[in-house]
Amino acid sequence: MANLLRERGWEARIVLPRGRESLRKRVAQWLSLGRWRGRTTGFLHEFKGPTATFRTLNDLSYQPNEIVIAVGTYSVPDVRALTKPVVKLRFNHGFPAKPDALQEQAWRGSMPTITVSNTLVPRLRELSGEDVLAVVPNGIDTRVYFPDTSIESRPAIGAVLNSHPNKAPEDMLAVLAEAHQRHPDRPQVIFSTERRPEALAHTDYHRLPSADQARRLYNRAKVWLLTSRTEGLPGVVLEAMACGCVVISTDNDGSLEILRHEENGLIVPRGDRAAFLAQIDRVFSSPDLAARLSNAALTTTQQFTWARAADKMETVLQSLHRTAPTSHCVSVASPPRQTP
């Protein structure tokens, strides 16, 4: 998004907090989530503009009425505390399954706010007492994620493993284990930022794949699973759909923004492991169903390109620009850690 804004004439930079955790904790995070075989877990290395780190945002310099965007819950307190003459904007990417008081407080009070999903708007209105400026969804780069015609068959079940409680990893592990027990000859392809757990010893497991490697993994899978309790707008769903997978997802708010049951994917109740297994069997036993859902999924992803997302973001920035004229400068305040 920041790269696209720069291409469209905006001066955009990304700023990240630093120095808030102990050295031991930062080293542990660096080892587990930071670098692995020369790769990084985030996408900051792909940004073509300037970056900066801060202890407080007031340490940085700004153009008059520069727009400062707080990306996610953990950046809002930093932007709220900023006293420089800037225009502040909150960008909501979802809520934790069980938000604590501080996490809810980030979205209370008056500040212009945008979000990635229409399904998140009612909660934001409830917390802030204000309307949301716009919905600016996550995007998909269909030049990177697409059906690979060189891969002739799709025999696998695929998933991304994430141990965060919001992602319901215990459900994911249980569904994959039962599916393997029922169909041991059906391969499973998994990728993650984390080390392979013992429960997935039977899988073709990839840690921190490149985008090209991820595309090949998606293209080996007929179905792609998402067991999350909550999502903002799940990028993995868009990536899998763009590669021709049939996505089977829980009825979390973010997935419901993208998927329509029996139209372009399959929806099951959160925590219903038996329903996941039943839908997996349906897809593999019905080529017509799989083809219909896959084709509809490909059509859906054309509505969620990064270019369309950038169009909506630019409309928001221009509206703020008209309210408080700026020099077309944007600072994106990101959380401490960026993961795929």
Cα dist from 63 to 8, 53, 84, 112, 330, whole Å:
18, 17, 10, 19, 9
Looking at residue 152, its pLDDT comes to: 87
287-301 and 273-285 helices, crossing angle to 10°: 100
- Which helix (H) or strand (E) segment holds residue 277: the answer is helix 273-285
**8 A C-beta contact, residue 225 and residue 158:** yes
Query: Low-confidence residues of the chain, pLDDT below 70?
Result: 20-42, 326-327, 336-340
Looking at residue 328, its pLDDT comes to: 82
Query: Which domains, and CATH codes, for the chain?
Result: 2-139+305-333 (3.40.50), 156-303 (3.40.50.2000)
Distance CA 163, CA 144 (A): 26
Distance CA 29, CA 27 (A): 5
DSSP 247: E
Q: What predicted TM-score, i.e. pTM, was given to this entire model?
A: 0.85
Looking at residue 39, its pLDDT comes to: 42
Looking at residue 327, its pLDDT comes to: 65
Q: What is the pLDDT of residues 150-196, one digit of tens each?
A: 998 999 999 999 999 999 999 999 999 999 999 999 999 999 999 99
Q: What is the pLDDT of residues 208-262, one digit of tens each?
A: 999 999 999 999 999 999 999 999 999 999 999 999 999 999 999 999 999 999 9
The whole-angstrom distance between residue 200's C-alpha and the CA centroid of its chain comes to 23
Residue bearing tokens 């027990």: 181
Residue bearing tokens 């999924």: 297
- What φ, ψ does residue 208 adopt, rounded to 5°? 55, 55
